[in-house]
Amino acid sequence: MTLKFHNTLTNQVDEFVAQNNGKVTIYTCGPTVYDYPHIGNWASYIYWDVLIRILIANDYEVNRVINITDVGHLTSDADEGEDKLEKGAKREGKTAWEIAAFYTEDFMNGMKSLGMIMPQHIAKATDYIPQQLDMISKLKSKGFTYQISDGIYFDTSKFTRYADFAHLKLGSQMAGARVEFNPEKHNNSDFALWKFTPTGEKRDMEWATPTDLLDNQTDDAIMGFPGWHLECSAIIMALLGETIDIHTGGIDHIPVHHTNEIAQSEVANGVRLSNYWLHSNHLKINGSKISKSLGNGYRLDDLAQKGFSPLDYRMFILQGHYRNEGNFTFEGLQSAKNRLHNWRNIATLRHQTHDTIQSDNDRNTNDKTVSTYATSRAIIEAIDDDLGTPEALRIIDEAFSRINSASLANINQQALINLLETIDSTLGLQLMSSTPDITDDAKRLILERNHARTQKDWSRSDKLRDQLLSTGIIVRDTNSEVIWEYKD
Ligand code: AMP
Ligand code: ZN
């Protein structure tokens, strides 16, 4: 079994080799906490959660950081415009700190509702200001920074590999420069490490610029705040070290944000920032980009209002591959919801079958027991292969359809439990925890109904079935047996 990922650094699918045997350090660029995330934002976190799960399934000990951008992300990635947090604060009549706290909590709740494994560290940019200033100081001492009227910038022309990661054509970037190009910058691609609070303004989030970072000493402190890219480099360095195993983000991060992270970290530390870079593609909605003006930036709450749970959405996302552009439609979400419902009903069979039959290992070739022994392996192999979730789902459907058409007597309870455990641990769909056994009372009603049926007392049998239905349980009569399922 080989774990493989498409690595943006090499532009090919590479076998994964951790730098420290059995241990993985991994960093995910997290949310800017100025507003609610839309479902497109969540898509990538769902894929990265599967990444964590497949690393664990491969026996790696995972040390993972997600950062929270709570300062410095400007409305334009080119270091111009307003700080998104300060803008959110004005919109809601709160401080930037209150906005950050509110949307950070909302993000954490979203993570929980989507069944994500929590990272070892959630790191807020504002908690790492000294580390960010240290990094600027290192870059300054190596001659890679310069100061202009609105801040301290990284001189990308001095980092000769700057264009390599994203295969940038810097000349054409220059030609395409729009109004946001700051004429004081030495190169269009130069980016802010530290921005000064504009004279006469007071920001909610600002820190005194250490005087040794400034060209000229002043009596009054010059207040400022970090540029967006710097936090990731400083947090990685502080919590995971100079070189990490895996770095993840959205494809939009490649040309600017990750390119800049690489420039800062690799100049400051003199070693490679990350051995593997994974990037997820974007989600469209009904074929259109997600945008405020189209009003299509659905949130998890919007889906809930239409009757779809976060796990229905998780199933929808897993149906696509992380490197392909996704297209969200409510019909697609409905079919994901149906699929999850059917899978849950297969999961309930573990309460209705018994381990009286032989185990998978010593069954004879004539018996009709459904074998799922190989299925768990196949699911893991599909995900091992560059997070092949669509293939994993296909394998599960195939196994479940065999189980569905088997009689209860031919389903090995322990084998089914093992399969469900594999699905839950790798895909996080919570099939087991969402399908508890029914109560003893409900079981008694089912037995009474079976008895009424054998007595051909149809009216009593129908009454009992309705009674069960009112508690959310459907009884289904097959040729030879009665199976219960959840209504929804
Ligand atoms: P934003 O809040 O717009 O800066 O988005 C934060 C991050 O979410 C981006 O950097 C992307 O990586 C990701 N993202 C934004 N829009 C989408 C989308 N439509 N589909 C998937 N990911 C997205
Ligand atoms: Zn980042």
The full DSSP string for 239-300 is HT-SSEEEEEEEGGGIIIIIHHHHHHHHHHHSS-SEEEEEEE--EEETTB---GGGT----H
Are 444 and 405 part of one and the same domain?
no
Is residue 328 domain-shared with residue 383, that is, in the same domain? yes
- The pLDDT-based confidence of 11 (bands split at 50, 70, 90) is very high
Residue 181 burial (CB count, 10 A): 14
Tens of pLDDT, residue by residue over 314-352, are: 999 999 999 999 999 999 999 999 999 999 999 999 999
Distance 12 CA to ligand 2 centre (A): 22
Amino acid of residue 130: P
**Each residue's pLDDT tens digit, 203-261:** 999 999 999 999 988 888 999 999 999 999 999 999 999 999 999 999 999 999 999 99
* pLDDT score of 179: 45
277-304 per-position pLDDT tens digit: 999 999 999 999 998 778 899 999 999 9
Which amino acid type is present at position 56? I
Residue nearest to atom 5 of ligand 1 (CA): 41
* Contact call for residues 62 and 20 (beta carbons, < 8 A): no
pLDDT computed for residue 291 by the predictor: 83
Considering the domain architecture, whether residues 93 and 231 belong to the same structural domain is answered as yes
Query: Of the residues 246, 280, 314, which one is the last residue of a structural domain?
Result: 280
**Mean pLDDT in residue range 20-31:** 97
44 Cα to the center of ligand 1, angstroms: 8
Candidate of 28, 46, 84, 252 to mutate for ligand 1, largest count of ligand atoms within 8 Å of Cβ:
252
Within a domain: 297: no
The model carries a pTM of 0.94
d(CA 19, CA 30): 24
Q: Is residue 306 part of a domain?
A: yes
Other C-beta atoms closer than 10 Å to the C-beta of 139 total 25
* Predicted pLDDT of residue 175: 38
* Phi, psi (rounded to 5 degrees) for 407: -85, 155
Residue 211 lies in a domain: yes
Residue 164 within any structural domain of the chain: yes
Rg of the chain in Å (alpha carbons): 27
For residues 50 and 155, membership in a common domain is answered with: yes
Average pLDDT over residues 55-66: 98
Q: For residues 408 and 452, state if they share a domain.
A: no
User: Ligand 1, residues 32, 35, 41, 284: which to mutate, most atoms within 8 A of Cβ?
Assistant: 41
> What pLDDT was estimated at residue 294?
83
Name the residue at shortest CA distance from atom 2 of ligand 1.
32
Q: What residue owns the CA closest to ligand 1's atom 12?
A: 250
Ligand nearest to the CA of 77: 1
Please indicate, yes or no, whether residues 362 and 451 belong to a single structural domain of this protein: no
Mean pLDDT is lowest, of 12-21, 173-182, 232-241, for: 173-182
- Ligand 1 binding residues, C-beta < 6 A: 32, 40-41, 43-44, 249-250, 252-253, 282-283, 290
For 58, which DSSP code?
Answer: T
For the CA atoms of 144, 148, 152, 155, the dihedral, rounded to the nearest 10 degrees, stands at -30
| Residue 288 one-letter amino acid | S
Amino acid at 442: A
The reply to whether 356 and 275 lie within a common domain is no
Question: Residue 416 and residue 434: Cα distance in Å, rounded?
Answer: 16
Does 159 fall in a domain?
yes
Q: What are the tens digits of pLDDT across the range 157-173?
A: 999 999 999 999 876 55
Starting from the CA of residue 262, give the closest ligand. Answer: 2
Domain-embedded: residue 126: yes
pLDDT range class, residue 355, cuts 50, 70, 90: low
Q: For residues 475 and 465, is the Cβ–Cβ distance under 8 A?
A: yes
One domain, residues 16 and 125: yes
The pLDDT confidence band at residue 178, using thresholds 50, 70 and 90, is very low
Could you tell me the distance, in angstroms and rounded to a whole number, from the CA of residue 123 to the centre of ligand 2?
12
Give the pLDDT confidence score for residue 217 in this predicted structure: 82
The rounded Cα 358 to chain-centroid distance in angstroms is 40
Average pLDDT of every residue of the chain: 93
27 alpha carbon – ligand 2 mean position (Å)? 8
**Mean local confidence (pLDDT), 117-134:** 98
Range of the domain at 390: 302-427
Share of the chain above pLDDT 90, in %: 82
Q: Same structural domain for residues 413 and 468? A: no
Q: Which residue has the higher pLDDT, 109 or 359?
A: 109
**Which ligand number lies closest to the CA of residue 265?**
2
* Same domain? 275 vs 307: no
Last residue of a domain, one of 280, 314, 337: 280
Which residue's C-alpha comes closest to atom 8 of ligand 1? Answer: 41
For residue 57, give the CATH number of its domain: 3.40.50.620
Choice from 34, 44, 83 to test ligand 1 binding pocket (greatest atom count within 8 A of CB): 44
Report percent pLDDT > 70 for the chain.
95
Q: Considering its fold, how many domains does the chain have in total?
A: 3
Mean pLDDT, rounded, for 48-64: 98
| Ligand nearest to the CA of residue 27, numbered in listed order | 2
Compute the distance from residue 327 Cα to the ligand 1 centre, in Å: 14
Q: What average pLDDT does this structure show over 460-466?
A: 96
